[in-house]
Amino acid sequence: MATTQKLIERVKTGIPGLDGILHGGFIRGTNIVISGGVGTGKSIFSMQFLTAGAEKYNETGVLVTLEEKPSELRREAAQFGWNLEPLEVEKKLIIIDAASSKAGLPSSEEWALRRGFDLNTLAQEIYKATKTINAQRIAVDSLSGLGLRIESAAEVRGSIFKLSALLRELGVTSIMTSEILSKSAGLSRYGVEEFIAQGLIILSLEEEQGELRRSLVIRKMRATAHSLKRFPFEISTKGIVVMPSGEI
């Protein structure tokens, strides 16, 4: 087992405490879903994965934003000391604004879906951006923003499969976030993400003794003998920091 683990190349998530749990990080080239309820840290996870890649590990990245405008993300990132703009100028990061077109609004961003939103156009932009800076990491935040018709299981499955297949085909290490609507609503927004992706990390924010506590669980991670424990984490001034388990 030890030799097999060594043959697999790992990509550091850049999230303190998480890489150890994952035996060094995500497997290079895999597609992982990060799911969780509102405000559990999915967007912060996405930005941290990409900024750590660009700043610490010399890996360029593409951030596909479907819900928040790039300007909002830049402002939020700055709170954790991640300055996205210089990374964009240096071509270490591209932010694709898919949120404006989704909302029917114009975009002043360099990378945006100008002819309206559809999955094929989005796929083309992701492809172009990845090739432009030779990106090694991609974050799609979030799948809920695709606005898929939940009643059409075939459309949902087809669209998410297409996106996941593109990301794998590009050879990048990628994450897609997915919003869980309620505690009883399953592992992801559409209930198919965890089957399509090669890994699933669930972020939670739950009340315990009158206080909300954050924790995460690695629910699935192919080719990785991962822990099944629940790990508490914090969102600090430096972003997400995962604590050793056993504390909750």
Ligand X SMILES: Nc1ncnc2c1ncn2[C@@H]1O[C@H](COP(=O)(O)OP(=O)(O)OP(=O)(O)O)[C@@H](O)[C@H]1O
User: Are 134 and 59 a contacting pair, CB within 8 Å?
Assistant: no
Residues that bind ligand X (rule: CB under 6 A) add up to a total of: 11
- Determine the Cα–Cα distance for residues 38 and 152; give it in Å rounded to an integer: 24
173-192 positions binding ligand X, by CB under 6 A: 179
43 is a site residue for Mg ion (CB under 5 A): yes
Q: Which does 36 bind (CB under 5 to 8 A by kind): Mg ion, ligand X, none?
A: ligand X
41 is a site residue for ligand X (CB under 6 A): yes
C-alpha separations of 203 from 33, 80, 100, 162, 163 in Å: 11, 19, 27, 25, 22
52 or 170: CB nearest ligand X: 52
Stretch that binds Mg ion, among 4-12, 34-42, 51-59, 237-245 (CB under 5 A): 34-42
Stretch that binds ligand X, among 39-47, 113-121, 145-153, 185-193 (CB under 6 A): 39-47
26 or 233: CB nearest ligand X: 233
121-180 positions binding ligand X, by CB under 6 A: 179
Stretch that binds ligand X, among 36-44, 54-62, 99-107, 193-201 (CB under 6 A): 36-44
Query: Which one among 25, 36, 199, 232 touches ligand X, defined by CB under 6 A?
Result: 36
Each residue 217-236 as x (binds ligand X by CB under 6 A) or -, in order, gives: ------------------x-
42 or 69: CB nearest ligand X: 42
- In the chain, the amino acid numbered 151 is E
193 is a site residue for ligand X (CB under 6 A): no
Binding site for Mg ion (CB under 5 A): 42-43
Binding site for ligand X (CB under 6 A): 36, 38-44, 79, 179, 235
